[in-house]
Structure 1
């Protein structure tokens, strides 16, 4: 109320998303929000509706979308249909107390591996259903209060017929994530995530990320705020909400053991 804000950064843990985004919309303040954008589909849809009504510029912190190998991969594919998209996210439990609480983080897939899911959706398009299974029981023996999955694997069905899967665990060490795009007679493998391999029957070419993608993410948002247009923002609130719906559907599938269908209503 005291200041006229040019833009707002909402960088809070998943459970702390209350009315910050809706208030920003009411005040017509462009905002950047960290992923995941919420912990419920209902909340994300409420904010998405407010964003569309207000017309404010938004950006979501899916920083990997700004790696230059994303555009390079698109050019290599050249519109070829993908048959398979796979992803992985391996590492150790982050040293953050709220991330091990299910109601505060949603778990590894929802809070961290969401980066890889977002990339999978970027290349694969709309998702119609997911089926996910989780393993638990080992990590809680060494970390008191641990409530989320130790590992998970999720099968994703895209509307265009492409199939995909993502496998995650915090039982590993260090950090390693990957993405694999498979078309007919062509594979584009990102492993580690910042190294792109183009594999055909004839040859293998390797490209490393060459841009400061974290800077590019924020540069795009600031430039969009200054220009009043979306500009070079690659993941807006609707994109973040779409990713959340997929990861929460996977979480529901882990809990019920059933395939969960996804129907976007906005």
Structure 2
């Protein structure tokens, strides 16, 4: 295996392996990475042998069904880990200990302890890391930061409320971590990112009963509403659920002094007295986050990514605290 602590020259292609080759790997990353001249997709590993073989047919490289064999036999620079929440075990740890840069799709894990363990391994190894919070890499997020600069965020309302994903693991708390962890983590993260402060406490409540009657093996909350307080005084109200119509509401509203900024990952709306700006997003955030990550791998600059694993762990702390508060009925102090 190749260690990226020995920087790859600009003339060399980065050798990339994928652990997990489902929809997010294909649609989010492989679609464009496979067309870039400065990377080479050389290995795929998945428990689904059919999926691995299809990936090899489409993108080349070698198929593996064992992570350690892939890491040992592929001379990699970079590993993309695109797994369901419950499937994160030791993949990131093995890659980091091998000196490989790691890109991890969100959410980081199904619980807090595993993500903390993975982060410790990445930090100890000192490798470049990134997490797939791609709302950060939209052009409109940059515009939002510019418009909000120097102003105090008072309150934020974040929503991920829509329909019901069909995969069986998603509806089971022990496998997905629930909707606040699985999808709504995007709006929690972009809220935290633009509030630009650390969360200090969480209180949340959830409802159950409807989904369990409609769908087999459904034990997650139908809806969750959470209040998150930040060190700088800002308050986030985050809501999520899956009983509404598809696409009902996904986005974040930031309330500042004489300014409201709405971000839904495709459009930014900035309202100030007597004026309303509507700015469409024109870049591909997956491509943007991948380019920043791979450039960081070449330079060894761990701070040049949009979101490192260590940074993403702060968001994961919040979503896990929301789950804990729903379960216990108590206010959860952060970090916990």
- Tell me the equivalent position of 1:90: 161
Deviation (angstroms), 1:49:
1.4
- Tell me the equivalent position of 2:142: 71
Deviation (angstroms), 1:40:
2.2
**1:29 matched to 2:97:** no
Equivalent residue of 2:273, what SS? coil
CA RMSD of superposed structures (Å): 1.2
Range 2-11 or range 40-49, more displaced: 40-49
- Tell me the equivalent position of 2:173: 102
Deviation (angstroms), 1:251:
0.4
Mapping 1:219-238, distance limit 5 Å:
219-230=291-302, 232-238=304-310
- Tell me the equivalent position of 1:6: 77
Equivalent residue of 1:147, what SS? coil
- Tell me the equivalent position of 1:178: 251
Instruction: Indicate if the aligned counterparts of 1:197 and 1:206 stay in contact, CA closer than 8 A.
Output: yes
Instruction: Indicate if the aligned counterparts of 1:220 and 1:231 stay in contact, CA closer than 8 A.
Output: no
Q: Which has the higher contact order (CA 8 A, sep 6+)?
A: 1
Question: Highest CA radius of gyration, 1 or 2?
Answer: 2
Mapping 1:1-266, distance limit 5 Å:
1-124=72-195, 125-175=197-247, 176-190=249-263, 192-230=264-302, 232-263=304-335
TM-score, with length taken from structure 2: 0.76
Range 228-237 or range 104-113, more displaced: 228-237
Range 28-37 or range 218-227, more displaced: 218-227
- Following the alignment from structure 2 to structure 1, what is the Cα–Cα distance between the partners of residues 133 and 199? 18
Equivalent residue of 1:206, what SS? strand
- Following the alignment from structure 1 to structure 2, what is the Cα–Cα distance between the partners of residues 7 and 195? 32
- Following the alignment from structure 1 to structure 2, what is the Cα–Cα distance between the partners of residues 231 and 158? 23
Range 215-224 or range 68-77, more displaced: 215-224
Instruction: Indicate if the aligned counterparts of 1:223 and 1:231 stay in contact, CA closer than 8 A.
Output: no
- Following the alignment from structure 1 to structure 2, what is the Cα–Cα distance between the partners of residues 167 and 182? 16
- Following the alignment from structure 1 to structure 2, what is the Cα–Cα distance between the partners of residues 31 and 13? 16
Deviation (angstroms), 1:231:
5.9
Task: Show structure 1 runs of 5+ residues with no match.
Answer: none
- Following the alignment from structure 1 to structure 2, what is the Cα–Cα distance between the partners of residues 262 and 183? 24
Q: Deviations over 1:130-160 (max 9, x none)?
A: 0000011112211111110101100010011
Instruction: Indicate if the aligned counterparts of 1:156 and 1:163 stay in contact, CA closer than 8 A.
Output: yes
Q: Deviations over 1:82-136 (max 9, x none)?
A: 1011100011111111001110001000111000011111012200000000011
The change in CA–CA distance for 1:188 and 1:45 in structure 2 (over 3 A counts) is same
Deviation (angstroms), 1:36:
1.2
Q: Deviations over 1:49-97 (max 9, x none)?
A: 1111111000101111111111101111122111011100011111111
Task: Show structure 2 runs of 5+ residues with no match.
Answer: 1-71
| Count of residues paired in the alignment | 263
Deviation (angstroms), 1:39:
2.0
Instruction: Indicate if the aligned counterparts of 1:34 and 1:60 stay in contact, CA closer than 8 A.
Output: yes
